[in-house]
Structure 1
Amino acid sequence: MYDGQCKRVRLYRAMAKNNSIELTPDCSACAALCCVVFAFDKSESFAIDKAAGEVCPNLDDNMECKVFQDREELGFKGCITYNCHGAGQRVTQEVFKGMSWRQDPSLKHRMGEALSVLRRIHEQLTLLSMASRMNLDKGERETLEGLEKSLTPVSRWSEEELSNYPIDRVTKNVSKFLLGLQRLVKKPN
């Protein structure tokens, strides 16, 4: 690991220790998981077909996109609109301690499984963060805090915890809570 990567690993470990969760992607701290884990179907969003687990042909050996500046023109709008909400770097730095599927190809599937769950967790945390800015009553605030707590481990996520996490149930609970806040949202004229 180079020095900059070591500093990021220490930063993400410190954030995990303090239960401080970054919900903004930091591609420089990720193992390019979105370029490997997900399938693309040739469409208006993706110029090519790519199977899940297959490395995108636009990913170079330094885990950087060879067509990054020209993604839209080359037909990769889906790459522009995708947002992991910070789950990619957290899987790489926190769950896998800075390791990468490039260093150990056997990690590719495991990292993909972890990303699939943690991304959904981060999506729910993002939605709850937006809801927290609303004028919630005491009961709603307590419910929101309980949901956030259920999405945040006491220490840091492990592969096993993510594998066993009841993401479907928790997502339903978050959706139900958010639907109950409709009265706080102004309807457009």
Structure 2
Amino acid sequence: MALHIEKSTKFALEKPAGVACPNLAPTGLCRIHDMLKDKGFSGCIAYDCLGAGQRVVQDLYDGISWQQDPSLLGQMSEDFAKMRKIHTLLELLFTAQTLALPPTQLQTCDSFIARLFPQTGWTRAEFDAFPIRDTQKQVMDFLAALKSHLTAQQTK
């Protein structure tokens, strides 16, 4: 529902963000789930929201989804897009944690994770105020600086 889909070899149709896929049943389930590849939707099989959808519903909407309250769809779609970016950064940082990093870089990595994954969950105010663009740049700059550690580990 929340995602824009471009027609391609992985998606058999074009769909704007915020518009239901024509294969979405009223129950919220996919009508062609057992035939996705055959129907031209291998992208659906490969897609992983990395837990962003669940986090939005649980943290920001107290377990209520757009399916239960359709008036939430627009804001929930925007929130999902932002949370998906956060969860993508988390995935990269969790991978960085597996590297043999010096303590200062490991501490920086852990600090980013703590900012992106509050242990008590996101409050609406914290999420709305969260500077995603600035944080993305900071995390990507940090990860780019780890390139020497990747090269060093690959030569071992």
Further displaced range: 127-136 or 145-154: 145-154
Residue 138 (str. 1) matches residue 116 (str. 2): no
Q: Which amino acid aligns with 1:62?
A: T
Residue 94 (str. 1) matches residue 94 (str. 2): no
Aligned to 1:175: 140
Aligned to 1:51: 16
Q: Distance in 1 between matches of 2:54 and 2:17?
A: 19
Aligned to 2:71: 106
Residue 78 (str. 1) matches residue 43 (str. 2): yes
Q: Distance in 2 between matches of 1:94 and 1:150?
A: 15
Q: Deviations over 1:126-180 (max 9, x none)?
A: 1111110110101111111121122133632133432321111111111111111
The answer as to whether partners of 1:37 and 1:112 remain within 8 angstroms in 2 is yes
Q: Which amino acid aligns with 2:94?
A: S
The runs of at least 4 aligned residues of structure 1 exceeding 3 Å deviation read none
> Please, what TM-score do these two structures have when normalized by structure 1?
0.75
The answer as to whether partners of 1:113 and 1:163 remain within 8 angstroms in 2 is no
Aligned partner of residue 171 in structure 1, secondary structure: helix
Q: Distance in 1 between matches of 2:142 and 2:46?
A: 26
Q: Which amino acid aligns with 2:31?
A: K
User: How many equivalent pairs are there?
Assistant: 153
Q: Which amino acid aligns with 2:70?
A: P
Match of 1:61 among 19, 23, 26: 26
Higher relative contact order (CA 8 A, sep 6+): 1
Q: Which amino acid aligns with 1:144?
A: C
Pairing 1:14-33 to 2, within 5 Å after superposition: none
The answer as to whether partners of 1:117 and 1:162 remain within 8 angstroms in 2 is no
Aligned to 1:159: 124
Give 5+ residue unaligned stretches, structure 2: none
Q: Distance in 1 between matches of 2:117 and 2:51?
A: 14
> Please, what TM-score do these two structures have when normalized by structure 2?
0.89
Q: Distance in 1 between matches of 2:82 and 2:127?
A: 6
